[in-house]
Amino acid sequence: MIITLKNTFLLSLIRCKSMQIESVFNELISGVMPNFDNGFRSKLLAYDNELIKMVNYALGGGKRIRPLILILINKNLGERFDVLNASYSIELMHSLSLIHDDFIDKEEIRRDRVPFYKIYGYDNALLITDYIFGIIIDLINQYKIPEATEILAKTSLKMSEGEFKELALFNSQENVSLSDYLQVIDYKTASLFAASAKLGALLSKNPQFAEKAYCFGENLGIIYQIKDDLKDKKHILNELINRLSQNEQKSLNQLLEEKYVSAIEYLKEFPQNEYNRKLFELTELLYKA
């Protein structure tokens, strides 16, 4: 009985902390990009309406962290372009990757929502990702900046390589090394965080910060994914983390701290203004999540 009460109390504390973090994050989103979803869906209406119904379902439920990083970096460094199309392309890349993950992993539920392929079928899930990728290229090409398109192309390659690597690890090994695990989350998750930050810098008045922005985003993405895996270790999507040795699992906390310190050090090199402070706040939120 005492153990049950203790566990209940701990779960209550965790939920309370999670709700507080979610509240601060939502406040950050509403302050920086208050009309993002409405603008996003309006932009998509320019494409085929029947297919967009399916795309809109795929977009549901996201936290919009990646577009937030892009927009904050851009505002921090000085706005040179309207970066909404770039932020939409980044969110579409994230949604596309989730559709792939769900039907590869045969997911029954994700974040309390029925996966796309369960609603529309495997064939449509495969075809809609091709269609989404076409929209991504169309949106980013509107800037007429080859480097912007190159960022997304290289990121798509890394995300695909990460997916292949993860499948190979599932199919061939019982144990996973820490370096293999980190490569998978770097390629599958952190690469898109890094691309978001780099795009924000590239489209700003200070594009010379693009590489530093990339490194900041990469650190943030690794923090985000490790935290997500640690919170959901029993989930099939996060099975890789369970294949690490106990010592390697314990070392993740130290690694998280190192990535957090590294992300903060990069931010210190950026212009010090209200958007830099918001980037510090976001980094703190993801680290403490």
Residue 50's SS3 state is helix
Q: Are residues 189 and 250 in the same domain?
A: yes
Number of domains in the chain: 2
Are 69 and 220 a contacting pair, CB within 8 Å?
Answer: yes
Residue-level pLDDT, tens digit, the chain, 289 residues: 443 444 444 344 344 455 566 777 788 888 899 989 999 989 998 887 778 888 888 777 678 999 999 999 999 999 999 999 999 999 999 998 888 888 777 777 776 778 888 888 888 888 888 999 999 999 999 999 999 999 999 999 999 999 999 989 988 867 899 999 999 999 999 999 999 999 999 999 999 999 999 999 999 999 999 999 988 655 545 578 988 999 999 999 999 999 999 999 999 999 999 999 999 999 999 999 8
Query: Which DSSP state fits 270?
Result: S
The first and second tokens of residue 207, run together, are 């594009």
Tally Cβ neighbours within 10 Å of residue 154.
13
Whole-number pLDDT of residue 193: 98
Q: Are residues 18 and 65 in the same domain?
A: no
User: CA dist 131 to 3, 142, 146, Å?
Assistant: 52, 17, 21
Phi–psi pair at 160, nearest 5 degrees: -65, -40
Whole-number pLDDT of residue 107: 74
Q: Are residues 247 and 137 in the same domain?
A: yes
Q: Are residues 124 and 254 in the same domain?
A: yes
Q: Which domain holds residue 4?
A: 1-32
Query: Is the Cα torsion angle 56, 61, 66, 71 positive or negative in sign?
Result: positive
Are 203 and 148 a contacting pair, CB within 8 Å?
Answer: yes
Q: Which residues pair with 113 in a beta bridge?
A: 110
Q: Are residues 11 and 91 in the same domain?
A: no
Phi–psi pair at 204, nearest 5 degrees: -100, 180
Q: Which residues pair with 204 in a beta bridge?
A: 79
Whole-number pLDDT of residue 5: 41
Four-point Cα dihedral 48, 54, 58, 64, nearest 10: 40
Whole-number pLDDT of residue 239: 74
Whole-number pLDDT of residue 16: 45
Q: Are residues 28 and 117 in the same domain?
A: no
